Structure 1
Amino acid sequence: MILVKFFRSSFIILILSVLLTSCFSRYLISEKQVREHYASKDIKPEIQIIKNDTLSLCVASVGADTLPMLLLIHGAPGSLWGYMNLMDDQDLQKHFHIVSVDRVGYGKSSLKLKKKRKYVTSIATQAKALLPVFDLNHSDQKVIVLGRSYGAPIAAKMVSLVPEKVKELIMVSPVIDPDKEKFYWFSKWGRNALIQLFLPGAFNTATAEKYSHSDELKKLLPVWQTLNVPTTVIQGGNDWIADPTNIDFAKKHIKSKKAQYIFLYNAGHMITYTHLDMIKEMLLRSQLFKEKISAIDLDKDN
């Protein structure tokens, strides 16, 4: 009887592990997939590891470092390779030093803390850890910072630490409202120690971030009041990960007159893929603040 219960439990754990992995497999890109993707491409990103006594940051960059930097910060789970379509774009390569970074706890990026913790869930700590990336650029021009999903509040915090170095902040599908954190049927299973043994490390890191995210976002509230760099918030109306009302939170709490908000009624979460042309146009033509945009529906005719 005990043996039957053991096998039954093991089977359930295995099934749950497979289901959990498949739920977010689209956001996890393997090294093999990266190799296959770039096998036939002439321009491949340069991989660098920024290291000191406590920090190890993995970054991929493309474009001359004498061009203005476009810094890309991924969500959870995710990796620097989640921005391959931006890094591969030949028009952007000609105009920007494109740098995509693995956040601490993802890929080959890690941070040693005084207090031993398995995961770095602090938004402030994540943001500070990314600051050395700025030193990779030699253009003497201010940086455009783009953060997606869980990467958006980290991008905002980082910008608040060095506003003098930043030209623009773009938050795509941001998860920034502490009262709108979404949990799913599988969320609690992702915290099970046995199940975590069978899950990708990025998934476990993302789960740890999720369960502390609301509290971390509350700590971030003062940042929105003082954010004074040009800021754009882009949100999809059919986003199942970031509640669409996150854009309302942004409108309420970002006091800067240099902020604009774009609502794509029929867009989902992966706007950097589905609306690449729109984001490219913003970056290349510097149209972000030539006119105030309160909402835009680019999908209604589709």
Structure 2
Amino acid sequence: MQWRKTDIEIQQKFTDLKIESDISYFQIDSLGINIRIQEIRTEGKNTNLLFIHGAPSSISTWESYLTDPALIGKANMYAIDRPGYGYSNFGKAIKSIDEQAQIMNAVINSKKLEHIIVIGSSYGGPIAARIGVLNPNIKAVVMISPAIDPENEKDIWASRFTQWKLTRWLTPTAYRVAGDEKSVHAEELSFVEKDWKNLDIPILHFHGDIDDIVPFENLAYSKKTFQNIKVIPISEIGHELAWKDSEIIIEQLLNLIHQLEIQH
């Protein structure tokens, strides 16, 4: 119910699969936080994939991507526990989309990454797009079932339990963080959407047509808002698209990597 695995649990799985993995922590003294990062590096590869999870979640949700032989052969990969989740100051939410994006951008700069594709799922979608606004080394953004439209921010009744004093203590920590983010998400989206017009890099938006968490209408919002957008509706798939149907995303990621390599 906490949506996270320890460093040892993660590393054991990758060791068993004979995949070289490194887990590190990026400290931001001014905020008093440590950000957990898992890295899968491939010698001689210049493309970097940065994975930003949704809510509640952690780097573990990206295992099918980080263990995919085709992706390992084409790019370096970095998965990050967002603030409040996994082992990045677990339980302490940062509600601001921009502040979270700034933190992810600080990680990118500390690693001196270039030629980056940012992949964000659900709540991580708008954060991924915001990083694209902030950092010129972002060459493309991939959003999977993103909660991006402030006018279609769905009210999930279960999240109310995380906000009521009488029931907040009953809910798992990761869900409380998700509820805190959810409580101001529409407002946060409205704050950052003014900058979407400045984002001219390629953007892919995947969305399942039976998503009962983030409305399918978010796809139409992206289509009318972003200038270099490719929308990819997926039939008969819900909000689990990112982790249960990862092969659909991976195929498109490989195509995108190839296109960017040709341009570079």
Please give the TM-score of this superposition, normalised by the length of structure 2.
0.87
Contact 2:58 2:85 in 1 (8 A): yes
Paired residues of 1:63 and 1:94 also in contact (CA < 8 A): no
**Residue 99 of structure 2: aligned partner:** 125
Judge conservation of contact 1:234–1:262 (CA < 8 Å) in 2.
yes
Compared CA separation, residues 42 and 252, structure 1 to 2 (3 A)? same
Q: CA offset at residue 205 of structure 1?
A: 0.7
Relative to structure 1, is the Cα distance of residues 243 and 135 closer, same or farther in structure 2, using a 3 angstrom cutoff?
same
TM-score (norm 1): 0.77
Q: 1:144 aligns with which of 117, 120, 126?
A: 117
8 Å CA contact 1:97–1:137 kept in 2: the answer is no
In 2, Cα distance between equivalents of 1:135 and 1:66: 20
CA distance in 2, matches of 1:87, 1:242: 25
Stretches of structure 1 lacking an aligned partner (at least 5 in a row) = 1-24, 112-117, 291-302
Please give the alpha-carbon distance, in whole angstroms, between the structure 1 residues aligned to 2:57 and 2:118.
Answer: 17
Runs of at least 5 residues in structure 2 that lack an aligned partner in the other structure: none
Determine the structure 2 residue equivalent to 1:247.
219
Aligned-partner Cα distance in 2 for 1:261–1:288: 19
Q: Determine if the alignment matches structure 1 residue 109 to structure 2 residue 96.
A: no
The structure 2 residue matched to 1:58, chosen from 19, 32, 36, is 36
Q: What corresponds to 1:225 in structure 2? A: 197
CA drift at 1:285:
3.0
Secondary structure of 2:242's counterpart equals helix
Partner of 2:67: 88
Q: Which has the larger radius of gyration?
A: 1
1:65 and 1:157 map into 2 onto residues whose CA distance is: 29
Give how far 1:65 is off.
6.7
Q: Across the two proteins, how many residue pairs are aligned to each other? A: 255
Kindly tell me: are residues 78 and 72 of structure 1, through their superposed partners in 2, closer, same or farther at Cα, counting changes over 3 Å?
same
The offset of 1:171, in angstroms, is 0.6
Q: Which runs of 4+ in 1 moved over 6 A?
A: 287-290
AA matched with 1:146: I
Distance in 2, matches of 1:39 and 1:236, equals 33
Instruction: Kindly report the root-mean-square deviation, in angstroms, between the aligned alpha carbons of the 2 structures.
Output: 2.5
Aligned to 1:284: 254
Change over 3 Å in CA distance of 1:173–1:288 after alignment to 2: farther
Quick one: distance in 2 between partners of 1:83 and 1:232? Answer: 18
- TM-aligned CA deviation for residue 90 of structure 1: 1.5
